[in-house]
Amino acid sequence: MSGLLIKGGTMITAAETFEADLRVEGEVIAEIGVNLAERAGEEVVDAEGMLILPGGVDVHTHFDLPMFGTVSSDDHYTGHKAAAMGGTTTVIDFVPQDTAPLLENVRRWHARADAKAAVDFSFHMNISHLDAQVEREIPELVKAGITSVKVFTAYNNRLRLSDGEILKVLRIARQHGMLTLVHAENGDVIEVLVAEALAAGRTSPEWHALTRPAWGAVEAALRSASLAAQAEAPIYLVHMNAGGEADQLTYARSKGVQMMGETCPQYLFFSLDDLKREDGAKWICSPPVRSPADQERLWTALQKDEIQVVATDHCPFFYDGTRPIEYEGQSVAIPGKELGRDDFTRIPNGLPGVGDRMLILWTYGVGAGRLTPNQFVALNCTNPAKIFGLYPRKGTLIPGADADILIWDPGKKIRHGVANSAQRTDYNLYEGWELQGVPLAVYLRGKLLVRDGRWYGKAGMGRFLHRSPYAPVL
């Protein structure tokens, strides 16, 4: 069989909705048009009544990440598989700065990822220690295909850089066409509040959120905008969780600051009340989930195109790592959130989500009338591809783009949860939720990964993506 022709579907891009056929030759989209003629030997897929979307791009994932004496439970195979099952065909992971030089960290992350990769992928580089040598090494990342670095205003004495150091990183990134990502919380305030909580014996999961107040995120977001303005550099605010952060992003952009931002599904649906549940550890992530008012402000920011991207910050851990689960016929048990059963500061910070994002956002965004289908594609596919130097190869449906294609059934209903999410952990945040709108087929560069909920991919199918510097600020 040679080539692929998808006939009769409705194309959804970030800007347009139209009926057309789509032809794939090799690994790319070759032609889009009405009533394309079938060719000998070509596989023909009838997409009548279906939507055709570009594959999702999730620019915030943490696979195989060491934390608190354990490791995130999805590696670069299981996490990629989960991504594809949910319609995502490109992911960007974070490389920790664990050793020197920077490129040695990248080499070690390739050793973890390359042979396991099941979708296309790239890396960001964390900068959690800065000296003259690191300053000289940051530009070398571009030649390795990495055009973004991440800094932290929290995690004192571990990951945090001072404001002056962040300013230096921003300047270097600007000079070389790179984008600086920032985790915005107030590390000093967190340190004080955590110490007070522990001294008072307040160790249950909700204190994770109560010791990381939203005002700290709001203040750090504005401070980050100020640093970017002074460096005359672009900046990208990761995992926006507080409504006030959307206010600061909008304010900064109105003043000409080259600032962009993302939020994640968990911040649109969950709150402190979930942390107060008996199984509240399931919802522990950093920054924490906030309040219903914050959820509404973030939804409004998405509707108004004030926030540019929805990502996941996928970093899953078992809820009870003492009890094995079965994954692809193998028994798996990885220490998880039970490590902090008596102390919230020892609960691994992170949630599963890479396989849930597009399903949840379609039902509760598009289906609920909060987002248009075109906004859905912009937030989940096109904008992240543009911002991170992958467009037009990824994130769109045009001739010459990689044939990362979703055949989406807007009418199909499923009961979501662990059983169908393919994330390698023992719980799902959306367990039992009824969803309408799912991918019937998922293609990566023209190769079938998923059809009717069945996995056809394999480790090693994914390729590392060398990204382009000087990507646009949207």
User: Can you list the domains of the chain with their CATH numbers?
Assistant: 4-53+392-455 (2.30.40.10), 55-387 (3.20.20.140)
From residue 318, give the alpha-carbon distance in Å to each of 205, 338, 352, 374. Answer: 15, 8, 9, 35
Q: How high is the pLDDT of residue 2?
A: 75
CB of 119 closer than 8 Å to CB of 89: yes
CB proximity list for 291: less than 8 A, separation 6 or greater: 214, 271, 272
Q: Which residue has the tokens 């791009």?
A: 57
d(CA 37, CA 48): 16
CB of 382 closer than 8 Å to CB of 391: yes
pLDDT < 50 regions, the chain: none
Q: How many CB atoms lie within 10 A of CB 182?
A: 27
pLDDT tens digits, residue range 117-138? 999 999 999 999 999 999 999 9
d(CA 80, CA 75): 8
What's at 308, amino acid-wise? Q
In sequence order, the β-bridge partners of residue 206 are none
Say how far residue 282 (Cα) sits from the centre of its chain. 18
CB of 169 closer than 8 Å to CB of 130: yes
